[in-house]
Structure formats: C-alpha cells, structure tokens
Structure 1
Amino acid sequence: MDVFKKSVLPNGVRIVTEHHPHSKSVSIGVWVLTGTRDEKPEEVGISHFVEHLVFKGTKTRNAYQIAKSLESLGGELNAYTTREYTNYHCTVLKEDWRIGLEVLADLVCNMKISQKDFDLEKKVILQEIAMCDDLPEELIYDYFYEGVYKNHPLSRQILGQAETITKMTQKKIFEFYRHFYQGKNLIISAAGPLEHDQLVIECQRLFKNRKKFSAKSNRRAPRWKRYRKIFERDMEQAHVLVGLPSTSFNDKFRFEALVLNSLLGGGMTSRLYQAIREKQGLAYTVFSSLNTNVDSGNISVYAGTDSANVKKVMQIIKDEFAKLKKQGVRSSDLTLFKTQVRGQLLMGSDDIENRMSSLGVNEMVFERYKPVSNVIEEIEKISVESMNQYIAKYLDLDKMSVVLMGPNLQGHQQWLQDFDFSKN
C-alpha cells in the first residue's frame, strides 16, 4: 500500500492522505487557503472572525453540540488562523474518523448563526484583542510585523483591529464565507490508519455542495523595511525582539535557515541561550524563531529581561550575529545542529497531527508530497559551504530591525537608532 495518496474532486477540493497503519488515532484537517494577508483594509480580522463564528452553529448543530460531537468520544476539535490560511482540524480514535470528518465538513460548509450569536462573538473577539494588549510576548511580534512590513498586508494583526471588528456585519461575514470556502481553496489532509479511497468517498458526499472555484490571488511579496522603535509600557520586564529577512518556503536555502535558527536560539545548547541565560543570567526566556511564508520570511530573536540589562542583551545578540557574519559556521557546530534538527523532524514524524499539518502545508505551498525521508536527505546535504552561502546572502546586518517594549526605555531611543549590528 502506498503511504501517500492524492485525489482531486470535480469541484477542485483536494484530498491528501498519509497511511500510518499502527496508529490508534486519525488526524484530519480542512485548510482554507485564505488568511489575513488576503483581506481588504476594511476587512482586517475577518478570517479569524469567521473561524470563531463557525463554532457558534451550523444548519445541523448548535455551539454545544459542536463542542460535544468529538469531545464525547475522547477526541479533539480546534481551529486557528494565520496570515496565509485557516485550518480546522480534529484528532479522533481511528474508528471515529468518519464522525470527525463530518463535523469538520459541517463547520466549513454549513455555518448558520443568529444575529444574537454574531453580536456575542463580536464582543468575544474585541475582548481577545484587548487581552493581547496584556500579553507582551505576543504583542511585540504584532508591533514588529507592523514595522518591517509596513503598508503590506502581512503587517496586519490576525485578530484584526477593534475598529474593523466593530464595523463588521453579519452580511459581510457570510459573503466572505461563501466566497472563499469553496473548490480549490479547500484542502483536506489526513494521517492515520484510514483508507484513502474511503476518505474520498466520504468527502465527495460531504463537500459536494462546494462550488468549482479558485480564488484569484492578489498576493505580492513584501519589501522589508528596517525598523527600530521603543514602546514604553508599565510592566515588570523589558521585551527585546530583533530580526531580519530570511527564506521563503520555496527558497533553496530554506533548510540552512532551519539549522541556523537552531544554532542561534533553538534550544538550551544554542549560542544565544548559552550566552544570555547560562553565562550571564540576563534572561529567563530567550529563543529564536524562523517564520516562513510562501514568498518571504524572517528570523527573529526574543528575550525578556530587566530594563537595566537591555543594552547588554542587545550587545550579546549583536556579537553572535557579527561572529556568524565574519566567521561563518564551524563544522562541529554544523554537525551538532544538523543532528538536532534531524532528530526533531524524525520524532515529529511519529505524531499524526504533525504529519497531517505537514501534508496540508506541502500541498498548499508546493502542490506535491514531501516525505520525511526527502526532508532528511535535504538536511544531510547541508554543508559548511552552503551554510556560509546562506549567511552571506541573508545575514545583511544593516537590515536588522528591533522592537523594545517595557518600562524606562525612552532614554534609549537615540542609542537604538544608532546601534550598528555590522560593526564590532
């Protein structure tokens, strides 16, 4: 039996599966290829709003029945919105996969909400937006994106803005839902001990009312803007976020970026964790992130510290980037972090929810299957030379952007503007 199979329904809905015969559970996702970057300025937050509203009711279930449908079986049902897509997903026991698929299809195809539920959920979204103002570890990334991708849809907050959510109407929500939740804009991915052909038969029945449709993409690649800003806030800690452009999903150096991220701040052995936390005790939390889009990406470093230590933390981050730019990556470091990434990928391949997500993303980005073995081969091919080529191309330290947030930082404004990551 083939591990991977793909089918396309007459209306354009795509179905991809990966067979895992020894798993006791099945993970299924329905991907809607529309996210925050596809919204009009007056619609900012509508993708996330729709994601919330489908759980308020369908033509066959109320909100409680939706929640109970899979929880009563020991399963899980959830959803999330990104800047590029929305994903509805469930994990259930293998004998319950048909129920899981039917519930997901109900959400994606049959939303039905009253004006009362719409108004209530609007209040919930507004509370969520307000709550994020009290979560500095998340808010600082919104500030960062607003600056480096200024005047581009990627700069927008996934939750939306209080102004756009307040003005949102029930009619607008249904227009968006009916327009984008159709045809080729939908991908169904599943991993576990289920038969592909049986899944296709069920999908033909459950998604037959989806129109043959392919949304015209108006996406344009963003231009990176060097951005330095301080947000004075009365809070316990200062928060530091530093970043610069990196690879997209389609870049030939994508896996080099993955290894560099591990080297910088991917774990307790990473350079920044060791230098900032273990050797200096300047932060409890320090890590790096590789954020990848279909046409762009960035690599960032976050640290939470005392305001009095911000300059020291920034200097250490600068020194590590400057060292990489000047000296490149040593063979011993490459071996260590390639092994780390390889191990994480292999362990992740045992998680069927992880595999379901990987299937969906690969179909969305590449429209083809990428087995774990192929990804491991790509990791193994990485050399000191290719790492240093990636560094030479992407670590343009003059583009380094910084957001600082916390108390007693306003006096650092000129210092921050003058801070040069490219000089020792």
Structure 2
Amino acid sequence: MRDAIELPLDLPEIEARVSNGGLFRRSVLPSGVRLLTEEVVGAASSSIGLWVPVGSRDEQPHEYGSTHFLEHLLFKGTPSRTAFEVSAAFERVGGEVNAQTAKEHTLYHAKVRDADLPMAVEVLSDMITSSVIDAAEFEIERGVIIEELAMADDDPNDVVWERFYETLLGTHPLARPIGGTPASIRAADRDAVWSSYRQHYRPEELVVTIAGAVNHDEVRAQLERNLTAGGWDLDVPSAPVARRETALQHGSAAPTGPLSAIDRPLEQLALVIGGQGITQLDPRREAFGLMHRIFGGGMSSRLFQEIREKRGLAYSVYSFGGSHSDLGVTGMYAGCAPDNVLETVRVLRQEAEKLVQDGVTATELADAKSASAGGSALAIEDADTRMSRLGRAEIHTGRFYDLEAALSRVEAVTLDEVQSVAADMFSGELVASAVGKLSSEARTELERR
C-alpha cells in the first residue's frame, strides 16, 4: 500500500513525485506561512487558494457570523484597489474568484490561466494582508448578508440542514449556522470584525495551495514579495499554528431532542435523519465512504432503488457523511410529498436496519471500490479539486494522499470493516429534522427512539 506524504509542521521542505507524474512540493517559510503546490503535467491553468484555519466554530458569542461577514468584506477593497478593481482583475482575463466560509476554515480561491497566476497571487495577497474593512462598506455588506440569509431561509433544504446540526449537536460550536443569524448580523460591530481580522490573518495562520501550471520556486518568490508589500514582516521567525485537537472539544455534543420540525405550507417536505459520524482522522474513513456509496450514494444505491425506483416515494434521496476535527455527522436525506412522509421514514429506517444486520455483499463492495476509483480519477482532472485536497491535507489532517495512495487504501477495505462502521453509525439513537407539512402520524414516527 502506497503511504501518505506526512506533513509535519517543523519540516521546512518536502518534495515528492505523485500520481500521473505530477510534482508535489511544500515549503514552510520562516514566518510560518505554508505553501503547497502540485504541478500538473500539461496543465494550462492554475487554481490557487489562500486558507485561514478559522471558521464559524471559533467565534465567541458576541461574534456569531463574523467569520462569514469578514469573508465578504475582504472583497471590498484595499489601499491600492477598490472593490471593483478586485473583481475586474480576474474577470478581464476570464478568470474566476470566490470565497467560502466553513465551520473550521475560510478559503479565498481563484482559477486563472497559467500566464495570469502572478496576478492572482498579487490580488489575493493584497486582500489577505491589507483589506481596509471600510465602515461604509461594512454597513452596505450588512444588508447584503441579511439578504443572503433571507434567501437561505426561503430554501427548505438549507433550513433542514441547519436544524439537523442544531438538533444533533446541541450547544457544540459546530451546531451553529456558518453565516450567523439576522439578529447576530444586525448586531455585528465593525471594530469586533476588524479585531478578528487582525488576530487571525497572520503569517503563521496562512496556508497557500496551488495546483495546475505552477512553478513552486517562482510562486514562492511572488508570494513573499506580495505579502511583504502588504505589510507582513516575513523576517520575524514564527512556527505555523498547531492543527486542531482531535479529542472532542467544548464538552459533549448532546442532542436537543429527537426531532426539530418547522411547519411550512410546501408541496414537498425536506427530511434528514441521522446521528454522529466519524472524524477527519478516523482510520475507518475509507470504509465509511464505501458504505455510503453502497447505501445512498447514487442511482444504483439501496436507498435510491428502494425509495425512488421501486416505490416512487421521493425524487431526491441519499445518505451522507461529514467529518470535522473532533466529531462528524452521518445519516439519510429525502424530499417527498407530505402524504409520502410516513412510508418514507419507515423505509429509510428499514433499510438502515438491514444494512446494520446484514452488511453489504461482495459484489456491492467491489462495485463501490470501482466507482470510487473512477470518481476519484475524474475528480482530480479538475485543478480546483487538487488545490482543495492540498489545503485540507495541510490544515485538517497533516497528511497528503495522492490518487494512488488514496485508492490503495480504498482497495484494502473489507466486508467486515464496512459492516462494522455501518453498525456504529446506524445502531444508536438518531435524530431528525423536517421542513414542510408534517402529519401527526409522521411526527410520532420520527420522534420514536
């Protein structure tokens, strides 16, 4: 089995050939900035990401939503660029630029042709180091974010996922909505957001990942030059920030109850049933992924065949798993007409019980491994995927798996390992969230432990 590339924080340089002849390099600068690149043979474009390992879970009570707020504000200008000039720099060359706030990190990313990579490094570095967080822009963006939250609240699928996390994890920081609430955004203070920016956007926190047409040494020089121009003193020695603890943080994550239901006059009810899953470093993650591929990962999966194809109960049905540093989530989703909810819930539970009791077949496992290999090979054709894999490896796990190493781990999974992880995921008490019209009979079934 091919081993992962370990990424210790105290090792300044790592270089390795990876699958398909690509070159992986990682440098830890004396200032603590980390640069990871994957040079892809024959690529004509590059995807770049600037990561800060701070997400919504890190906010204090008076800061809820501030991480997402700050992500918006970094596009609003620096001393050398207006908000228009930030966007226009990418659009005039046909590039893409965006950002995302997650529960455990924030990412600013772009995709450009190879000739425009120096521009992307320059503009993103300027945003990271030198955003002014203008008071007038702050108030304008407050309104924009409130509209964004309103749009999400109108989408039952967005709402049902937020309620699921809250119901399952209770007071744990991962239960909070990433974007905050209208009330927390209205209460947000510019000085508090500015303070968070100055606290977390520092050399020892920054991770830069680039995949595609990239020369590591050239981009390192560009990065150092642009971060210095933005006012960061890269001559001050500093170790990178430690990765997150993997033991359960902030106490236990206790459910608030068996069901969170929001009644809305909709033609379809959005439903999630699930429980706690596995962490990012859990050695069972390959078995976990294969289990979900078999159980609810596509049109040939058990849930899709049983609920949609055989019974016509739902259009959308699948199983899911999500992992964080100290806990994870897992479960099942279905969107169905109110009259079909009761039967859908019963079938979902029956299929979960069958998975736990009988496991999966050798044919199902072989097909899942083949599908995983094909899907992974197709995914890494995209430089965005490669860039993201680099960042998640550096920030969250501390080890990088190229395609060959990842697939060798998948191939080693046994039937017993899949059944074991299924039993751990679906044998315990599950919680549910629902948005739509829920009958009293369906409510009683969902509240049953």
State the TM-score, normalizing by the size of structure 2.
0.89
Letter in 2 for 1:163: A
Contact kept? 1:185, 1:213, Cα under 8 Å: no
After superposition, the Cα gap between the structure-2 partners of 1:203 and 1:99, relative to the gap in structure 1 and judged at 3 Å, is same
How much has 1:411 moved relative to structure 2?
5.4
Alignment length (residue pairs): 418
Q: Which stretch shifts more, 77-86 or 192-201? A: 192-201
Match of 1:193 among 198, 209, 213: 213
Does 2:117 correspond to 1:87?
no
Partner of 1:264: 295
Counterpart residue number, 1:409: 439
How far has the Cα of 1:412 moved from its partner? Answer: 3.7
- Cα 1:48/1:357, change in 2 over 3 Å: same
2-side partners of 1:156 and 1:366: how far apart? 23
Given that 2:268 and 2:335 are in contact with CA atoms closer than 8 Å, whether structure 1 keeps it comes out as: yes
The superposition leaves residues 212-255 of structure 1 with CA deviations (integer Å, 9 ceiling, x where unpaired) of 47667685475252632322112221111111221111001001
Q: Is the 8 A contact 2:30 2:239 kept in 1?
A: no
For residues 417 and 163 of structure 1, the distance between their equivalents in structure 2, rounded to whole angstroms, comes to 30
Q: Does 1:60 align with 2:80?
A: yes
Residue 181 of structure 1: aligned partner? 201
More deviation in 190-199 or 201-210? Answer: 201-210
Q: In the aligned structure 2, how far is the partner of 1:56 from the partner of 1:289?
A: 36
The structural deviation recorded for 1:183 is 2.3
1:299 maps to: 330
Cα distance in 2, alignment partners of residues 282 and 366 from structure 1: 39
Displacement after TM superposition at 1:101 (Å)? 1.0
Contact persistence 2:258–2:447 (CA under 8 A): no
Distance apart, 1:311 and its partner CA: 0.8
Instruction: Give the Cα separation in 2 of the matches to 1:128 and 1:348.
Output: 29
Could you tell me whether the CA contact under 8 Å between 2:32 and 2:203 is conserved in 1? yes
Q: How does 1:102-251 map onto structure 2 within 5 Å?
A: 102-208=122-228, 209-210=231-232, 212=238, 219-220=249-250, 222-225=252-255, 227-251=258-282
Instruction: Write out per-residue CA displacement over residues 357-414 of structure 1, whole angstroms, 9 at most, x where no aligned residue.
Output: 0000001122232212111110010111221222233332x32111122124355433
Number of the residue aligned with 1:330: 361
CA contact (8 A) 1:75 1:92 kept: yes
* 1:291 Cα deviation from its structure 2 partner: 0.9
For 2:433, give the aligned amino acid: V
Give the 3 Å change call, closer, same or farther, for CA 53–327 of structure 1 in structure 2. same
Alpha-carbon RMSD across the aligned residues, in angstroms, is 1.7
Is this contact kept in 2: 1:19–1:194, CA < 8 A? yes
Q: Which residue of 1 aligns with 2:309?
A: 278
**Residue aligning to 2:384:** 353
Within 2, Cα distance between the matches of 1:305 and 1:203?
50
Structure 2 residue 97 is the aligned partner of structure 1 residue 77: yes
Secondary structure of the equivalent of 2:25? strand
Counterpart-to-counterpart distance in 2, 1:256 and 1:275: 22
Q: Whole-Å Cα distance in 2 between the matches of residues 186 and 78 of structure 1? A: 17
Equivalent residue letter for 1:104: L
Q: Distance in 1 between matches of 2:258 and 2:37?
A: 42
Per-residue deviation at 1:36? 0.5
3-state SS of paired residue (2:194): helix
| Amino acid in structure 2 at the alignment position of 1:300 | G
Partner Cα distance (1:410, 1:269) in 2: 32
Report the counterpart of residue 13 of structure 1 in structure 2: 33
Which residue is 1:22 aligned to? 42
1:244-286 Cα shifts (integer Å, max 9, x gaps):
2211110010011111111122111111111111111111111
Instruction: Answer yes or no: is 1:399 the counterpart of 2:429.
Output: yes
Q: Which amino acid aligns with 1:318?
A: R
What is the identity, as a one-letter code, of the residue corresponding to 2:76?
K
Which residue of structure 1 lines up, in the alignment, with residue 10 of structure 2? none
Further displaced range: 29-38 or 401-410 = 401-410
Are the equivalent residues in 1 in contact too, given 2:353–2:426 (CA < 8 A)? no
- 1:340 equivalenced with 2:371 (yes/no): yes
Give the secondary-structure state (helix, strand or coil) at the position aligned to 2:209: strand
1-structure distance, mates of 2:96, 2:62: 34
Q: Residue 337 of structure 1: SS of its match in structure 2? A: helix
For structure 1, the 5+ residue unaligned runs are: none
Structure 2 spans left out of the alignment, 5+ residues: 1-15, 18-22
Report if aligned partners of 2:280, 2:323 keep a CA contact under 8 Å in 1.
yes
Distance 1:221 1:386, change over 3 A: farther
